[in-house]
Amino acid sequence: MATIWVEIGGRRLSVELVEDGLAMVDGASFQVDVRELGPGRISLLRTGEDGRTYSYDWGADEGAVVIDGDRVKYAIFDPRSLRGRGLASSERGPRLLKAPMPGRIVRVLVTAGESVGAGQACVVIEAMKMQNELKAPKAGVVARLAAVVDETVAAGAVLLVVE
């Protein structure tokens, strides 16, 4: 099963439902009871080390989880892209656009010094015979451009910097 990354209560955690009745949260395993309450909404019950039962109602409120009756904000993010949904989208400071996987640069759609909008297509990378359009992580100016057409890049290679 896939791992999701969430930020809740100021902490970033990896969460994986390994199998029915078992969840892994940051490497710690928990016995859980999961119930689907409707489309996009699940209830998760677990018993803590203190013997208390904790209930999590995911999807009851967009962007929040209800934990034992208290509404707590959360966000899901992707640590590979450094562009979590609202978590790392601060407009302050430079932002890096990195190759999400090894591949070959097919097209470079911007130049150094060019103004770009958040989400604007900047680089096209080909990996496993598929082309992926990589977008600007924020609005700003391309301060550094390292992507070169036909160059092979490793996963995590910095392709450009937006300030």
Task: Give pLDDT, residue 80.
Answer: 56
Task: Establish if 18 belongs to a structural domain.
Answer: yes
Which residues, including other chains, have CB under 8 Å from residue 31's CB and lie 6 or more apart?
Answer: 21, 22, 46, 47
Residue pLDDT tens, the chain, 163 long: 456 677 776 777 777 766 667 777 766 777 777 776 666 566 777 777 777 777 666 665 556 666 667 777 776 655 555 444 443 444 567 888 988 888 999 999 999 999 999 889 999 999 888 888 999 989 999 999 999 999 999 888 889 999 8
pTM of the model: 0.46
Whether residues 102 and 141 fall in one domain? yes
* 108-145: b (≥16 Cβ within 10 Å) or e: bbbeeeeebeeebebbbbebeeeeeebbbbbebebeeb
On whether residue 84 sits in a domain, the answer given is no
Residue 33 lies in a domain: yes
Start-to-end C-alpha separation, the chain: 37
Same structural domain for residues 64 and 103?
Answer: no
Q: Which residues span the domain enclosing 143?
A: 95-162
Instruction: Evaluate whether 40 touches 26 at the Cβ level (below 8 Å).
Output: no
Question: CATH no. for residue 110?
Answer: 2.40.50.100
Task: Give the pLDDT of residue 132.
Answer: 87
